[in-house]
Structure 1
């Protein structure tokens, strides 16, 4: 017999959600076959078979939240595989036990703890630590009834412990508890169409991180605008030759990445992070590039971007964006960035205030290029391709004057692309 266990997924990931089972009870599998897909806070991970055999049991269903190291199924040999079917009360064919096996698990738990109220169907969507879930199962506590003292709403072990006494004292009154969420959550207006959707694990994590960034950082945003005439001229003259030589397009992101690196070298506190009462100033430039994927925004990282050419930066960004949209990014692709660039202009945004990607203390927002009349001197006006740029920064370690000068440096480097060869 061999247990199917949730693998280690990086030090910051302790649980995930089973998004899809690729096998059912009775299926034969070989070493390396994909058994299930696991959705985590950052990436999706495939769980593969570590030995050949027959799937004997599936202990957790799609949509269940599982912890690292937890057993979610069993693979056995040919003889072992027949045991679940033989033990079943009905003589159901081997191809059909998938749903019964999963469904029979849950009544068994309820039967062993008659004093506990049945868990709500929404319990799996509650944000809670693995330790809290374990303690709740042991004490027969419904997670939907537990009040969290965490600012982000995550239920912790101490919340379960504090709730335990009250639950034990009020067991008879726990039966109608499933109606409480309906009373607290307003329903749609009668007769009006509405759809209730469960948030994906990634979307929940994005929401929490954004709120956390706003709660923990003294975040401010400063703005400027860039005349994109020179960059557009370079791209017009060099685009075809660049494509033929490097087999990649000459986009805007390589210019902005180089300009950001030049400004970070001049103002290193924008390339730092706060650790307790210390400031860690990073002397390397791993630039995060925000990419919109199907399940939400992800920020893969271009490593050592200061050492890369324009073509290498464009290729790296293209590869990472492709992985993001195919949902094949690894943890190493997402961890450890020092500064982030996000481009709302691809969706038509004219101006925005980007939120920090904690623990970073700076993020640059690009926007739509728009033709606007610009004063060239006291007597002349010209229509120029202009872009608003925004820098959000953590005022705890970055002063306003420093942030403004950083953004001015980015502007000056972009308006004089040749300087990028020297400064970027």
Structure 2
């Protein structure tokens, strides 16, 4: 018998939640077969079988939190029926649980005659063969203890035996009380579906581990960082012109589309080089000013926002950046990102414009001290001089920063630098 254990989940992750089991007790599995899916704070991971065998027992169910190294199931060697090697599996099977010990109940025939005295006084020989809870439940349901099969090797009848007997309809009076034992499961559903105060219907849905983590980290960011946001706007005319003229040739040559993210990534890198405190983090009483540029790109996935990281983005070309962002975004939506692709990051870019956001305040992705928010491109009248007004494709951009180490003047200058680089693509190619 071998244990199915929660594998090492990587840096800073010590537990997860069983998302679902892909096998059931009694299934035959081979080494390397995927047994279960585990949800962590960042990604979902698969737990595989380490050897051939039969699923003897599932110890932890879907929805339960489990720690690294904890046993969540058992695998029995060979291909035999696991019910014989798994006490847990045998206990779940009502037929086996009741039929297995029929040799023991011959002792209880005497209680059939003594039962009335037991009901009246609770004493006699039957008192040694049934627990007080079992006697009480039997009286309430009108069940003859002499007809109840005991699972205990010495023949002692427990409350669970009486419940099993009643559920099986072994005694005539049992069917009437049975509905009173089963309202228990519907109660949580009724409570979850309705507000007692107003009586109006609501749906109660358990938050996923990732959503809980997102919630706690966002609250932590607001509570621990002195977060402020500064805004500016960018004239996107030059970039739109380049994309219009070059996108077909770019696609044909590099087999990837020319989007906006490569321009913004390069602009951010150029600004970070000019204002390095935005590429730092606080470590106790020290500042860690990073000399590398791992840019996180926020992606909206089904289970919540994730931020995969483009490593050493300053060394990548435009097509390489576009290709990496496309691949990471696809993995995020398919829930196949690795932990390594989510860890680290020195600065983050988030694009609410794809959802139509005109202006927003992004929250820091701690321990980073800066995050740039992109927004929807919208035609707006711009005054070129005192007499000339034209319509230009404009985008509001927002920089949220940690005021503990970044002064307002530096944050504003950083955002102005991003604006200048985006509005002058030639400078972007030189400095980004």
- The corresponding residue for 2:30 is 30
Moved more, 71-80 or 46-55: 71-80
- The corresponding residue for 1:417 is 425
- Contact kept, 8 Å, 2:76 with 2:85, in 1: the verdict is no
Structure 1 gaps of 5+ residues are: 94-178
Match of residue 245, structure 1, among 228, 235, 253: 253
- The corresponding residue for 2:241 is 233
- The corresponding residue for 1:156 is none
Counterpart-to-counterpart distance in 2, 1:80 and 1:238:
65
Q: Secondary structure in 1 aligned to 2:232? A: strand
1:371 partnered with 2:379: yes
Counterpart-to-counterpart distance in 2, 1:239 and 1:90:
67
- Contact kept, 8 Å, 1:18 with 1:39, in 2: the verdict is yes
1:59-79, CA deviations, whole angstroms, 9 ceiling, x for partnerless residues?
A: 011111111110000001235
Counterpart-to-counterpart distance in 2, 1:243 and 1:356:
34
- The corresponding residue for 2:85 is 83
Match of residue 318, structure 2, among 270, 291, 310: 310
Counterpart-to-counterpart distance in 2, 1:297 and 1:235:
28
1:87 Cα deviation after fit? 4.8
- The corresponding residue for 2:351 is 343
Q: Secondary structure in 2 aligned to 1:66? A: strand
1:189 Cα deviation after fit? 5.1
- The corresponding residue for 1:214 is 222
- The corresponding residue for 2:176 is none
Match of residue 264, structure 2, among 256, 267, 274: 256
Counterpart-to-counterpart distance in 2, 1:57 and 1:240:
57
- The corresponding residue for 1:290 is 298
Counterparts in 2 of 1:368 and 1:14: CA distance versus 1, 3 Å? same
1:334 partnered with 2:342: yes
Q: Secondary structure in 2 aligned to 1:311? A: helix
CA RMSD, aligned part only? 2.1
1:274 partnered with 2:282: yes
1:378 Cα deviation after fit? 1.4
- The corresponding residue for 1:20 is 20
Moved more, 265-274 or 71-80: 71-80
Match of residue 205, structure 2, among 197, 208, 211: 197
- Contact kept, 8 Å, 1:273 with 1:279, in 2: the verdict is yes
Counterpart-to-counterpart distance in 1, 2:281 and 2:86:
54
Counterpart-to-counterpart distance in 2, 1:64 and 1:231:
50
Counterpart-to-counterpart distance in 2, 1:24 and 1:32:
16
1:2 partnered with 2:2: yes
1:341-394, CA deviations, whole angstroms, 9 ceiling, x for partnerless residues?
A: 000000000000100000000000000000000001111000000000000000
- Contact kept, 8 Å, 1:188 with 1:194, in 2: the verdict is no
1:66 partnered with 2:66: yes
- Contact kept, 8 Å, 2:53 with 2:76, in 1: the verdict is yes
Counterparts in 2 of 1:2 and 1:224: CA distance versus 1, 3 Å? same
Q: Secondary structure in 2 aligned to 1:199? A: coil
1:169-203, CA deviations, whole angstroms, 9 ceiling, x for partnerless residues?
A: xxxxxxxxxx9xx99xx936534221111110000
Moved more, 399-408 or 76-85: 76-85
Please say which structure displays the higher CA radius of gyration. 2
Counterparts in 2 of 1:26 and 1:235: CA distance versus 1, 3 Å? same
Q: Secondary structure in 2 aligned to 1:214? A: helix
Q: How many residues end up aligned between the 2 structures?
A: 337
Counterpart-to-counterpart distance in 2, 1:393 and 1:326:
31
TM-score, structure 2 normalization: 0.75
Counterpart-to-counterpart distance in 1, 2:262 and 2:388:
32
- Contact kept, 8 Å, 1:231 with 1:417, in 2: the verdict is yes
Counterpart-to-counterpart distance in 2, 1:369 and 1:418:
21
Counterpart-to-counterpart distance in 2, 1:259 and 1:84:
61
